[in-house]
Amino acid sequence: MTSRVAGRAVALALALGLAGCGPHSGDTKPASRLTEAQRDTALARSSLPGASTVGRALDVAGRSAARSAQLDSLTR
| pLDDT score at 4 | 77
pTM assigned to the model: 0.51
Could you tell me the CA-to-CA distances from 74 to 1, 60, 63 in Å, in that order? 85, 21, 17
- pLDDT band, very low/low/confident/very high, at 17 (cuts 50, 70, 90): low
Asked whether residue 16 carries a pLDDT value surpassing 70, the answer given is no
| pLDDT tens by residue, 27-76 | 567 677 888 888 889 989 999 898 999 999 999 999 999 999 998 887 76
Higher pLDDT, 44 or 12: 44
